[in-house]
């Protein structure tokens, strides 16, 4: 296949490129050329073409071309998705849009693709925040479908993890477990969690392009329910460390403004626990598979150890804040 990727150099995008190349496909990358310029050089990747442009007003290098499919992991603003989808409507057979579990307005356990999505009072808003991110992604899905009816595959991904993750929302935990000492853990060992290795998601996305699947799919994992306690146990085995875990209640975490998913990665409060209990049966029936949790943790931890020691962490509790929270929990 000849596949166009809008982006392709940051995290999931680069994994999609690697998966496609491993399966013998030709790739065209369209981006601003600001990140990952050293990736996929022509001398080692002759089947990768690089086009420079900007989704916001400079799509000219995409004109008068043909591809079998386009994969869009970089769409956040409906107006820009509309522009790209309309321009490509006669140039591709299929539009694969990488959306998010966050589109849903109801975060009850068991979310499936039929649940209602969030809405914005002002649909012209383009400021991506924690409140607007999900509804904007839902509008992006609708924009792609309006431009290419019946030819869109919407991938509602959960938390994507693995090497090259720029958010640290998973990477923090193997690193923290390996560092040892007393660790503040969220609420209870029985709290559910969900995430998907970027390489598993990328492989499935390419499979969906190869088989020309359309429609909407939740895509997160693992295949069976996973708890934070089970996750920490595997982290301990992989890092060969057994630190002390202090499970602080949800009430305590919220009272002390511990940020879900950011300061306390993988954890969300009970009110939105459905975000970590999405139903992915539809995607699994089309071929979505998951590598062992041990591999996901080892891949991520090994990659994290190649980063500079002074690189700031973008998620997780700072050591001083964690220490103070542990003291406060112990004293109450």
> Do you find a cis peptide bond into 295, omega within 30 degrees of 0?
no
The token pair that represents 258 in the structure block: 């511990």
Q: What is the distance between the alpha carbons of residues 171 and 315, in angstroms, rounded to a whole number?
A: 9
Same-domain status, 298 and 231: yes
Between CA 124 and CA 330 the distance in angstroms is 48
Q: Are residues 247 and 113 in the same domain?
A: no
How far does Cα 177 stand from its chain's mean position? 22
Q: pLDDT-derived band of residue 4, with 50, 70 and 90 as boundaries?
A: very high
111 touches 157 (CB < 8 A)? no
Q: Are residues 29 and 133 in the same domain?
A: yes
Please report whether residue 162 resides in a domain: no
**For the segment 259-271, what is each residue's pLDDT rounded down to a tens digit?**
999 999 999 999 9
Q: Are residues 121 and 263 in the same domain?
A: no
Q: 152 with 178, same domain?
A: no
Find the radius of gyration of the CA atoms of the chain: 20
Assess contact for 74 and 99: CB atoms under 8 A: no
Residue 199 lies in a domain: no
> Tokens for 138?
């839902």
Residues 7 and 51 in one domain: yes
Examine residue 167 and state whether it is found in any structural domain, yes or no.
Answer: no
In the structure, what pLDDT confidence band is assigned to residue 196 with cuts at 50, 70 and 90?
very high
Collapsed DSSP state (helix, strand, coil) of residue 13: helix
Q: Tens of pLDDT along 232-248?
A: 999 999 999 999 999 99
Q: Do residues 67 and 179 share a domain?
A: no
- Residue 198 domain flag: no
Which tens digits make up the pLDDT trace of 319-329?
999 999 999 99
Domain that holds residue 101: 2-157
- Quick one: tokens of 71? 């994969």
Q: Assess if residue 96 is contained within a domain.
A: yes
Let me know how long the chain is. 332
Question: What is the CATH classification number for the domain harbouring 127?
Answer: 3.40.50.720
> Are 45 and 153 in a shared domain?
yes
22 φ, ψ to 5°?
-65, -25
Asked whether residue 247 falls in the same domain as residue 321, the answer is: yes
**Dihedral sign computed on CA atoms, order 316, 158, 195, 21:** negative
Cα–Cα distance for residue pair 300/165, rounded to 1 Å: 9
Q: What pLDDT is attached to residue 138?
A: 98
Closest Cα partner for 69 from 115, 118, 26? 26
Domain count, the chain: 2
User: Is 284 within the bounds of a domain?
Assistant: no
Pick the last residue of a domain from 112, 131, 157. Answer: 157
- Are 96 and 231 found together in one domain? no
Q: Are residues 25 and 57 in the same domain?
A: yes
Q: With cut-offs at 50, 70 and 90, classify the pLDDT of residue 45.
A: very high
Q: Could you tell me if 133 and 242 lie in one domain?
A: no
In the prediction, which pLDDT does 244 show? 96
**Cβ burial 109-126 (10 Å sphere, 16+ → b, else e):** eebebebebbeeeeeebe
- Give the full edge-to-edge strand order of the sheet including 26-31: 48-52, 26-31, 2-6, 69-72, 94-100, 152-157, 215-219
Considering the domain boundaries, does residue 244 fall inside one? yes
Task: Give CA–CA dist 331/163, Å, rounded.
Answer: 38
The CATH number linked to 244 is: 3.90.25
Question: Residue 59 domain-assigned?
Answer: yes
């Amino acid at each position: 296949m000849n596949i166009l990727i809008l982006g392709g150099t940051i995290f999931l995008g680069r994994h999609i490129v690697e998966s496609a190349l491993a399966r013998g496909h030709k790739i065209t990358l369209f981006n601003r050329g600001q990140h990952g310029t050293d990736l996929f050089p022509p001398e080692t990747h002759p089947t990768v073409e690089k086009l420079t442009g900007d989704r916001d007003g400079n799509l000219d290098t995409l004109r008068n071309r043909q591809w079998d499919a386009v994969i869009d992991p970089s769409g956040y603003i409906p107006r820009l998705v509309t522009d790209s989808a309309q321009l490509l409507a006669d140039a591709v057979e299929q539009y694969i849009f990488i959306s998010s579990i966050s589109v849903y307005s109801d975060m009850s356990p068991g979310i499936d693709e039929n649940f209602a999505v969030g809405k914005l009072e002002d649909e012209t808003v383009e400021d991506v925040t924690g409140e607007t991110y999900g509804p904007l992604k839902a509008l992006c899905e609708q924009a792609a479908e309006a431009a290419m009816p019946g030819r869109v595959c919407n991938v509602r991904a959960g938390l994507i993890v693995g090497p090259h993750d720029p958010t640290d929302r998973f990477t923090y935990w193997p690193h923290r477990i390996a560092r040892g000492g007393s660790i503040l853990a969220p609420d209870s060992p029985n709290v559910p969690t969900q995430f998907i290795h970027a390489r598993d998601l990328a492989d499935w996305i390419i499979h969906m392009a190869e088989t020309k699947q359309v429609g909407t799919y939740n895509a997160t994992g693992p295949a069976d329910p996973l708890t934070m306690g089970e996750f920490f146990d595997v982290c301990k085995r992989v890092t060969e460390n057994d630190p002390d875990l202090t499970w602080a209640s949800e009430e305590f975490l919220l009272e002390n403004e511990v940020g879900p998913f950011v300061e306390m990665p993988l954890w969300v409060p009970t009110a939105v626990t459905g975000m970590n209990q999405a139903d992915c049966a539809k995607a699994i029936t089309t071929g979505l598979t998951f590598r062992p949790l041990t591999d996901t943790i080892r891949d991520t931890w090994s990659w994290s150890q190649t980063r500079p020691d002074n690189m700031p962490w973008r998620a997780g509790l700072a050591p001083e804040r964690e220490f103070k929270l542990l003291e406060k929990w112990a004293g109450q």
